[in-house]
Structure 1
Amino acid sequence: MLDIYTLGEEVLREKAERISTFDNALAIFVDAMFETMEESDGIGLAAPQVGVPSRLFVVDTRKPGERMVFINPEIIETSQEQGAYEEGCLSIPGMYYDIVRPIKISVQAQDIKGKPFILHAEGMLARVIQHENDHLNGVLFIDRMEEAEREKLVASYNRRNKRRKKDN
């Protein structure tokens, strides 16, 4: 299992680099990402969250056909219609907030072998793709909150972690 980096780690705020080598090492890394995501009970995980500033994320919404790898993704279309839904993040454990995002998207990416594809997604899958894609640009879900709400959530997160460190 890989270590998940948490709020405050610099790599979470960096713009990730494109991947150009599609080899066995990449496949092993992707397997480790899926394992880490599943062990952490997540439905998406981006490479920067495990300390690797590369344009890659994995998704598994637990629905058939929705376990996927996105390499060098680009969201190429979003719907006008938006919806709010509670989001959390493995890099900000225990914190949740309703985030407004487009309900439908189209994403262009490459698979594990480097083959390009376009996917049209809606609902939970569209939301997870947008959330993970944000990570590749150094954006966290809390950045999509109003400033006062974000400050409250971050203060609560910091208090919780300070207590946790004290207990250990």
Structure 2
Amino acid sequence: MTIKPLVILPDSQLRLVSKPVEAVTDEIRRLADDMLETMYDAPGVGLAAIQVGIPLRMVTMDVSKAEDERAPMVLLNPEVTWTSEEKRVYEEGCLSIPEYYEEVERPDRVRFRYMNLKGETVEQEADGLLATCVQHEIDHLNGVLFIDYLSKLKRDRVMTKFKKAAKREKTA
């Protein structure tokens, strides 16, 4: 397994709409392993393939609390099929927007469908952190970032901060 470099804001790849996974292959399984390794190393609870520079509709997640009780999930071509009217606010962060956290309001419960690594279609309902994580990661597959839910002022401040950091890194 390989820890892959993360794509960091303001990289325009983060705005790409990812393409569907056509079939579960050994290459897809290897990518899933690498993504999980990268996610755990970061550390994070979710990672979309585009965050490691691969525009595929593929997500890894693990919202378990303890490291010794890991519950990794790999979602291929995930889609939300239903959202509750009730909303919940969670403080979100993103591995592609390091060390920036902000409260985001999203539907409290969701139903979603995806293909697992066995090629089976799975339907699942989630609430709480898992529901937030599913929505956050599926947004990535559509080129949407959690900062897009913030006010224009906050979003502009974040973009400016990361553009300056990227410019400093290029000249260093």
The TM-score normalised by the length of structure 2 is: 0.90
* Distance in 2 of aligned mates of 1:84 and 1:162: 33
Residues 107-157 of structure 1, C-alpha deviations (whole Å, 9 max, x = no match)? 000001211000100000000110000000000111111111111222233
* Distance in 2 of aligned mates of 1:139 and 1:122: 21
Q: Which amino acid is 1:55 matched to? A: R
Q: Is the 8 A contact 1:14 1:138 kept in 2?
A: yes
Residues 25-47 of structure 1, C-alpha deviations (whole Å, 9 max, x = no match)? 11111000000000001000000
Q: Which amino acid is 1:87 matched to? A: E
Deviation at 1:85? Answer: 1.2
Q: Is the 8 A contact 1:23 1:113 kept in 2?
A: no
The TM-score normalised by the length of structure 1 is: 0.92
Counterpart for residue 45 of structure 2 = 43
| Equivalent residue for 2:149, pick from 144, 150, 164 | 144
- Point out the more displaced range, 127-136 or 5-14: 5-14
Deviation at 1:166? Answer: 8.4
Deviation at 1:49? Answer: 0.3
Give runs of aligned pairs for residues 58-73 of structure 1, distance below 5 A: 58-63=60-65, 66-73=71-78
Give runs of aligned pairs for residues 100-139 of structure 1, distance below 5 A: 100-139=105-144
* Distance in 2 of aligned mates of 1:16 and 1:166: 27
Does residue 1:20 correspond to 2:22, yes or no? yes
| Equivalent residue for 2:6, pick from 4, 7, 12 | 4
Give unpaired runs (5+ residues) of structure 1. Answer: none
Identity rate of aligned residues, in percent? 38
Q: Which amino acid is 1:85 matched to? A: Y
| Equivalent residue for 1:31, pick from 24, 30, 33 | 33
